[in-house]
Chains A and B, each alone.
Chain A
Amino acid sequence: MSASHPVALEPLWGDYQLDQAFDELREPDGELRPHYRAMAESLAALPPGELQRRKQAADLAFLTQGITFTVYGRDEGTERIFPYDLLPRLVTAQEWDRIERGLTQRITALNLFLRDVYSDAKILNDHVIPRELVYSCKHYRRQMRGLQVPRNVYIAVVGSDLLRLNTGEFVVLEDNLRVPSGVSYMLTNRRVMKRTFPLLFQRYGVRPIEHYPQVLLATLRSLAPEGRPEPNIVLLTPGVFNSAYFEHTYLARQMGVDLVEGRDLVTHDNVVYMRTTDGLKRVDVIYRRVDDDFSDPLVFRSDSALGSAGLFNAYRAGNVTVANAFGTGLADDKAVYAYVPEMIRYYLNEDPILPNVKTYLLSEEKDRKHVLANLDKLVVKAVGESGGYGMLIGPQSTSSQREEFARQIEANPRNYIAQPTLDFSRAPCLIDGRLEARHVDLRPYVLFGDKVNVVPGGLTRVALEKGSLVVNSSQGGGSKDTWVLE
C-alpha cells in the first residue's frame, strides 16, 4: 500500500462531510486513513460504471440465493433483498485484538452472573447489584432456579452490539443473549463480497469467518447431555413466517443438522423426539431460535403453538440441552446492562476492556430527575425491548412524544433507561454510485462451548438513511461486510 501520492477519488465523492463523529475512512483533516488507502486506490482505478455493474451483479446474487424478505402491506408478497452496502468496513488487527479480548471478558462475566443469579445469588447478597432490579426483570425465569446446565454455559451464542465513539474507542451498546440474529448476513455478505472485490480481498489479507457454522456445531456438541457421545442436534425455528427464517435454514444446512419446528417434536417420558420417516428419533441438543415465552406452552405462554409441550421438563431432567438456556434475557435487560462493568470486577477481578455507554437508571430518583429534565438530549429505551422498538431519540423527537415518554417513565420507571445521544462512527457507503458517510455499528458473534470464541468479523449495520442513527433492519437499516485485517 503506497502512502505517498494522493488517490484520485474526486469523481467518486458524493456529499461526504466530516464532523465530530469518528470517520472510518478519513482522518479529521480529510486524509484517507492508511488502512483504507488500498480500497480507495482500487475504487479509483475502476472504469466508470463498473461499480454500478458490480452492485447489480451482487444484487442478483442475493436475489437468486433467496436472501430476501417479504414486504407485507404495500404490494402483498413482494420480495426484496435485504439492504446492504457494497463497500466493506475495515477493522485493523490492533482494533480487533481489543474487541476480542473485551468481548471474551464480558461474555465470561455475563455467564458467571447468570449462573450465580440462578443458583446462590451471591452478587445480590453482596449488594453489588440491587436485588429488586433482577427480580423485577421480565426475562427472569424462576423455573431456572437451582437447575444445573451443561458445562455451566447459559449463553452459547451471543451477538453484542458495539459502537465507536468520536475518540475512536469501541463501546458496548447492548448484549444480545437470547436469540441474536444476523449471522447469516455476515456469512452471505462475505461470500458475495469475495466475488465482487476478489483482488482487493486478496490484497488486504482478511481473516476468515466462514468456519462459523462449524464452530457453532462444535459448540452445540460440547454442550450435549452426559452419556450422549453422538448427539442428535437440531435447530428449532418458529417456522417459515419468521423474519429470520432464511437464517435458520442457512445455519441448519451449513451445519448439516435438521431444522425442526415445534410440531416436529414430541416429548414422552421427559425425552424429546422428532418425527421422522423412520419413526421417532431422540433429540439431544436444541439450538433454539424461539423465544423463552414460546418454547413450551406447559411452562411458559400457554397460547403458543410454536414450541413443544413438555420440552422444559425434559430440559430440567437433563435429557436435552437447549441453547441458549432459558432466562438469559435477564442479563441483556438494559437496566441490568448498566451493571456489567461491576459484574466484570466482581467475578473476574479485572477492569472492563470494553466500556459501557453511560446509562441512567430511571428507577433511581436522582437519575430520573436528570433525565426528565433533559429528554430532548437523551435516548430513552424500554429495558426489555430490542430491534429499535420502544425508543425515544431526544434530539429527533417532538414535544408530544417527549411528554408521552415522560408519562410512561413516571408510571413505570423500572421499565426505562436513558443514554446520551451518541455520535457514533460513520463509514463510507456507496449511495447512488458515490461515496457518502453513514453511521455504522458492529455486531460481532461470540460462541461459548468449552471456551469463548469470537469470530473475527461480524455484521456491520448501517443506517442507510442520511443522518439517521437507527441501524436496525426493521427500521431502514442495512448491512455491510466487515473485514478484520491480518
Chain B
Amino acid sequence: MGSGVIGFEQVHSEKRDRMLSRVADSLYWMSRYLERAENTVRQLDVTMSLMLDTGGPNAETRWQRMMAALGKPDGMPWNGDLDSMTRALVFDPIDPLSVTYCVNAARENARQVREEISTEQWQRLNRLYHHIHSPHAQAQFSSSATDLLASIIDGIYLFKGTTDTTMIHGQGWQFIRLGRYLERAYATATMLEFYQPELFQQSSREGAAHLYLEFVGLLRCCTSFEAYCQVYTADLSPDRVLEFLLLNRDFPHAIRYCVDGARQAIDAVQHTGGRRAPDELISSMGKLHAMLIYTNIHEILAGDAAAFLHTIRGQCLRIHELIYRYYVHYSIQSALAV
C-alpha cells in the first residue's frame, strides 16, 4: 500500500434511500416471523399457566382454543400428551406453527440479507437461534418451561432493541416495522375473533374468579395486563378489554396502534424513495386506519363484532398483497414505463 489514505478523496457518493426488492422482502419476512414466534410463545405460556388452575376448561379444550387463536384450528391436533405437544410447538423444526420454525425462518431471511442488517442484529438473532437449538434449551424446558419461554421472548426483545438502536432508520428499517405491525395486527385480530364469542357474549354464565383469570390470560397474551390496569384499573370487563386491545391509540399491542405503525412505515417508504405508493395501497391502509379511529366499542358490540374483526384480518391480507405486488414483484414493463 502506498500512501495511507485511499478513497477519501472521492466525493461522498450520494446513496439514495432505496433497496433491492428481494432485500425488502426478506427484511419484512424476518420481522414477521419473529413477531409470530413471539406471539406463539406468549400464547403457549399463558395457556400452560391457565391449565394450572382448576375450574374452567380442561387441557384438551384449552389446547384447541389456543390453536384456534393462533389461526390454525387444525394445526396440531390434541394427542393427550401435553408435554410432547408443548415440546413440539416450541421445538419442532418442521411444523410451520412452531417457535423454532419461525426463528429458523427469521434467521434464514436475515442470512439472505446479511449485508443489510447490522452485525449486532445478526449476532443477536444468531444467539437466539443457537439458544433455541441447544441441548440446554431442551433441558430448561423440562425443568421450567416458563423460564425457557421467557428467555426466548427476551431474545426477541433484545433483537428488536438492537434493531432500533443499531440500524439506519431508512427503508430497510421501515420494512421491518411494516412486517412487525402487520403481523401483530393480524395475529391479535385472529385471537380476538376467536375469543370474542366465548368471552364477550356468554360472560354471565361462568364464575367470576374463573372468568377473571381468562381475561387476565387474554390480556397477557398481548402482554397488556399491566397497561390495561393503568388505563382502566384492575376492574376487568369484556367491553373494556375489547376496547383496549382493539382501539387504544397508545399501546403497542393494540390493533389500532399497529395499523397506525404500519401506515407510518408505508408513508416513510414512499417519502424516502422516489416514487409514490399506489393509490390502492394508500386507500386500503387509510380505510383500515379510519375504521379503527372512528368507531367506538359500543358500535362494535352492538353490531357484529366477529365480522368487524374478520374485516380487519381481510384488510391486513390485502395490504400485504399490495405491498408485495408494488415493491417486490412488480413487472419490468411497468417499471420501465415510469
CB of B209 closer than 8 Å to a CB of A? no
A217's closest neighbor in chain B, by CB?
Answer: B7
Is A214 a contact of B6 with CB atoms below 8 Å? yes
Smallest beta-carbon distance A78→chain B, Å: 10
| CB of B274 within 8 Å of the partner chain | yes
- With CB as the reference atom, state the residue of chain A lying closest to B108: A240
Q: Which of A269-309 contact B (CB under 8 A)?
A: 274-281
Q: Could you tell me the distance between the alpha carbons of A85 and B7 in the complex, rounded to whole angstroms?
A: 33
Specify which chain A residues have a CB less than 8 angstroms from the CB of B127 in the assembled complex: 64
Counting CB contacts under 8 A, is B24 at the interface?
Answer: yes
Is B16 located at the chain interface by the 8 A CB criterion?
yes
Contact string, B322-334, partner A, CB cutoff 8 A, digits 1/0? 0000011010100
Which one of B112-120, B179-187, B309-317 is at the interface? B112-120
Q: Is B332 in contact with A264, judged by CB distance below 8 angstroms?
A: no
Which residues of A60-99 have CB atoms within 8 Å of chain B's CB atoms? 63-66
Residue of A nearest to B112 (CB): A240
Q: Is the CB of B336 within 8 A of A278?
A: no
Smallest Cβ-Cβ distance to B110: which chain A residue: A66
Contacts of A246 in B (CB 8 A): 114
Interface segment among A124-132, A195-203, A254-262: the answer is A254-262
With contacts A65-B119, A66-B114, A221-B10 taken as known, whether A456 is within 8 angstroms of B335 at the C-beta atoms is no
| Bound-state Cα–Cα, A28 to B324, Å | 67
Contact B171 A277 (CB under 8 A): yes
Shortest C-beta distance, B112 to chain A (Å), equals: 5
**CB-CB nearest in chain B for A268:** B336
Closest to A240 in B: B112
Secondary structure call for the A interface: mixed
How far apart are the CA atoms of A266 and B114 in the complex, in Å?
Answer: 23
A249 interfacial contact with B, CB 8 Å: yes
A215 and B20 within 8 A (CB): no
Minimum CB distance partner of B22 in chain A: A264
Interface residues in B284-336 (C-beta closer than 8 Å to A) = 327-328, 330, 332, 335-336
Chain B residues with CB under 8 Å of A248's CB are 115
Say yes or no: A453 contacts B1, CB within 8 Å. Answer: yes
User: Do A277 and B114 contact each other (CB < 8 Å), given the known contacts A230-B14, A263-B22?
Assistant: no
Q: Are B20 and A260 in contact (CB under 8 A)?
A: yes
Query: Which residues of B are found within 8 Å of A5, using beta-carbon distances?
Result: none
Q: Does A123 contact B (CB under 8 A)?
A: no
**Chain A residue nearest in CB terms to B327:** A277
| Chain A residues whose CB sits within 8 angstroms of the CB of B330 once the complex forms | 275, 279
Number of interface residues of B (CB under 8 A): 42
How far apart are B175's CB and chain A's nearest CB, in angstroms?
Answer: 8
Chain B 127-143 per-residue mask, 1 if CB under 8 angstroms from chain A, else 0: 10010000000000000
Q: How far apart sit A256 and B10, CA to CA, in the bound complex (Å)?
A: 15
B19→A277 contact, CB < 8 A: yes
Q: Is A218 an interface residue (CB 8 A)?
A: yes
| Alpha-carbon distance A258/B1, docked complex (angstroms) | 26
Known: A65-B119, A268-B332. A275 touches B6 (CB 8 A): no
Asked if residues B122 and A66 are in contact (CB atoms below 8 Å), the reply is yes
Chain B residues with CB under 8 A of A217 = 7
Query: Does A101 have its Cβ within 8 Å of any Cβ on chain B?
Result: no
Q: Are A252 and B332 in contact (CB under 8 A)?
A: no
In the complex with contacts A64-B127, A230-B14, A260-B20, A279-B112 CB distance below 8 A: no
Contact at B13–A253, with CB atoms within 8 Å?
no
Instruction: Tell me if B169 counts as interface (CB < 8 A to partner A).
Output: no
Pick from B1, B111, B123, B274: contact of A278, CB below 8 A.
B274
Contact A249 B22 (CB under 8 A): no
Q: How far is A275 from B114 in the complex, measured between Cα atoms in Å?
A: 18
Q: A63-B130, A66-B122 are in contact. Are A276 and B336 (CB under 8 A)?
A: no
Q: Name B4's closest neighbour in chain A (CB-CB).
A: A211
Are the CB atoms of A280 and B336 closer together than 8 Å? yes
Verify if A455 is at the interface (C-beta below 8 Å from B).
yes
Is B165 part of the binding interface, using a Cβ–Cβ cutoff of 8 Å?
A: no
Please provide the chain A residues from 37 to 62 with a CB less than 8 Å away from any CB of chain B in the complex.
none
Taken together as a complex, chains A and B put the C-alpha atoms of A240 and B111 apart, in Å, by 8
Q: Flag if B112 contacts A276 (CB, 8 Å).
A: no
Query: Please, which residues of chain A bring their CB within 8 A of the CB of B269?
Result: 277
Contact A275 B20 (CB under 8 A): yes
Residues of B within 8 A of A274 (CB): 20
Question: How long is the Cα–Cα vector from A256 to B116 in the complex, in angstroms?
Answer: 9
Query: A340 → chain B, closest Cβ, in Å?
Result: 24
B77 close to A (CB within 8 Å): no
- A218 & B114 in contact (Cβ 8 Å cutoff): no
Partner of A64, one of B112, B116, B123, B275: B123
Closest to A454 in B: B1
CB <8 Å contact, A278 and B7: no
User: Is there an interface contact between B332 and A253, defined as CB atoms closer than 8 Å?
Assistant: no
On whether the beta carbons of B22 and A278 are closer than 8 Å, the reply is no
7 sample A-B contacts, Cβ–Cβ < 8 Å, listed by A number: A63-B130, A218-B6, A259-B113, A263-B22, A276-B20, A277-B328, A278-B275
- Known pairs A250-B114, A280-B335 / 6 extra A-B pairs, C-beta < 8 Å: A66-B126, A217-B7, A221-B7, A278-B274, A281-B16, A453-B2
